Amino acid sequence: MTLKEIIIPDTQLTGLRFEEVINKLTRKTVLKYNDETSELKPLITWLKKRAEEFVNAEKGKQKKARNNEIGIDIQNNFFEALTKSIIKDWTIKKSSKGYPDYIFENEGNDLYLECKAYERISGSETKEQDTLRSFYLSPSITETVKKDGYHFVIGFEFTKDDRKEEYTITKCTIIDSYLLTELKLKYEFNTNNLHMYTRDKIYTYPPT
């Protein structure tokens, strides 16, 4: 196979619907949330309350974290806040890798929740409208998305002080991932350390 055959122009792989991508990768159905009729309504009411409590508890607090670790810090802290309260008929677990960050399970359809963080720069400027990539999926989701269900994203806005490596949470937003219709496939070639460092070496110090 030639490189030209492998690499399909990006123009052919844009505008992908989230629910179609999940279905193709996992053979599971992404359900669209309806606030009036959904079986999920009690859970979402509970989730909104937990999110509001989390934001209110964090407002005004300077949390220590390196700039590239703020998202992970928020993800871990929010999960801890979720597990302090119990929602009847549901169990919560944190995914060990990849998508999603949290899984809410019951006897019916699951809720897959991805936790994201974005920065408020100054004044009214916010990365809520940023066009940089901030949502990722990979084929590894076949290990975590095992049932039909709902897929949400909860995004936490924060401000940060680069000099002190501190941040403050200011807002949160929940969206239905079913409505994501502009996913784009980005090609990536990769290898691993074993393959790289067991080759013939130009230089190693100290010598082995």
Summarised one tens digit per residue, pLDDT across range 20-63 is: 999 998 999 999 998 877 788 899 999 999 999 999 988 777 77
Non-local CB neighbours of 179 within 8 Å, separated by 6+ positions: 18, 32
The Cα 170–Cα 208 span in angstroms is 52
Cβ-contact 78, 117 below 8 angstroms: no
What pLDDT band is residue 131 in, cutting at 50, 70 and 90?
very low
Using alpha carbons, select from 48, 82, 76, 50 the residue that is nearest to residue 63.
76
* Residue 117 CA: distances (Å) to CA of 41, 66, 86, 123, 159: 24, 14, 24, 18, 10
Domain boundaries, the chain: 15-197
Q: How many residues does the chain have?
A: 208
Q: Tell me what percent of the residues of the chain surpass a pLDDT of 70.
A: 81
pLDDT of residue 69: 86
- Tell me how crowded residue 178 is: count the other CB atoms within 10 A of its CB: 17
DSSP state letter for 120? B
* pTM for this predicted structure: 0.81
